[in-house]
């Protein structure tokens, strides 16, 4: 399947909802037991119409948090909607900090190479850790809610790497290697958040879990 060139949200005869840009969200989470709290997040949803934007944001944020809560330290995972929700052509990628403190997530379209995503997330996580790890570790109060810490590289990555070929001179090599990798799957059934105001009957996901050693 070729990477689609789309104007806002396009729906083909199959009813597949396609996103207008290949990369539309990056987040850094703090892992606290089974919970994951947002430390910094940037999104690029401006190409969606007003009617679609809130629904897309629901999926992006919900999927990112689920990925952050389930990835193991030092591992990578990629989450896609299950067959019942296959109209949503997107992937939530997560890269866990080896120390188990941070998780970086990125939401992309189906065509963005996962191995390249993991590499970008690792770079962001290292920079974020250099800026904030000591302050977070030394904070007298634990972080128990989402924050919005200033982290300019996140917005820079979101803008610069809409074209994945800009991310690495070896993009074609990484793309070829990715096609040979075997994917392992982990199913997560019936995820819901009862306090959510909007209907999230669509929040039933199949977590396609790709465990790999980090190769950068």
- Return all residues near 196 (Cβ < 8 A) that are at least 6 apart: 58
Higher-confidence position of 214 and 33: 33
Average pLDDT, rounded, for the chain: 75
Q: Are 197 and 55 in contact (CB under 8 A)?
A: no
Tell me how far apart the alpha carbons of residues 33 and 216 are, in angstroms, rounded to a whole number.
27
pLDDT band of residue 200 (cuts 50, 70, 90) is very low
pLDDT for 41-84, tens place per residue?
A: 999 988 778 888 888 888 899 999 999 999 999 999 998 876 66
CA dihedral 38, 42, 46, 49 (to 10 degrees): -10
Helix or strand or coil: residue 36?
strand
Please state, as a whole number, how many other Cβ atoms lie within 10 Å of the Cβ of residue 206.
18
> pLDDT > 70: what percent of the chain?
64
Name the residue with higher pLDDT: 194 or 27.
27
Task: Please choose, from the candidates 156, 144, 149, the residue with its C-alpha nearest in 3D space to the C-alpha of residue 132.
Answer: 149
**Helices H, strands E: what count in the chain?**
4, 8
Q: How sure is the predictor about 206, in pLDDT bands with cuts at 50, 70 and 90?
A: very low
Q: Is the pLDDT of residue 85 over 70?
A: no
Question: Is 37 buried (19+), middle (13-18) or exposed (0-12) by CB count in 10 A?
Answer: middle
- What's the pLDDT band for 176 if we cut at 50, 70, 90? low
Query: Is the pLDDT score of 214 beyond 80?
Result: no
Predicted local confidence at residue 41, as pLDDT: 97
Mutual angle of helices 152-160 and 114-138, in 10-degree steps:
170
Band (pLDDT 50/70/90 cuts) for residue 194 is very low
pLDDT in tens, 89-112: 789 999 999 999 999 999 998 888
Mean pLDDT of 33-38: 93
């Amino acid at each position: 399947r070729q990477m689609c060139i789309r104007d806002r949200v396009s729906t083909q005869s199959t009813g597949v909802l396609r996103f207008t840009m290949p990369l539309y969200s990056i987040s850094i989470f703090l892992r606290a037991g089974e919970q994951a709290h947002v430390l910094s997040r940037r999104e690029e949803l401006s190409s969606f119409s007003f009617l679609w934007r809130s629904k897309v944001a629901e999926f992006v944020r919900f999927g990112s948090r689920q990925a952050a809560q389930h990835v193991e330290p030092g591992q990578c995972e990629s989450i896609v909607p299950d067959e019942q929700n296959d109209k949503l052509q997107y992937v939530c990628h997560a890269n866990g900090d080896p120390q188990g403190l941070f998780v970086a997530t990125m939401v992309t379209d189906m065509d963005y190479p996962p191995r390249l995503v993991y590499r970008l997330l690792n770079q962001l996580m290292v920079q974020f850790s250099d800026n904030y790890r000591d302050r977070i570790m030394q904070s007298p109060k634990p972080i128990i809610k989402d924050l919005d810490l200033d982290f300019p590289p996140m917005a820079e990555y979101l803008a610069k790497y809409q074209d994945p070929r800009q991310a690495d001179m070896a993009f074609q090599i990484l793309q070829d290697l990715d096609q040979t990798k075997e994917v392992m799957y982990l199913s997560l059934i019936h995820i819901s958040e009862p306090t959510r105001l909007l209907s999230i009957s669509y929040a039933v996901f199949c977590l396609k879990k790709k465990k790999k050693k980090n190769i950068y």
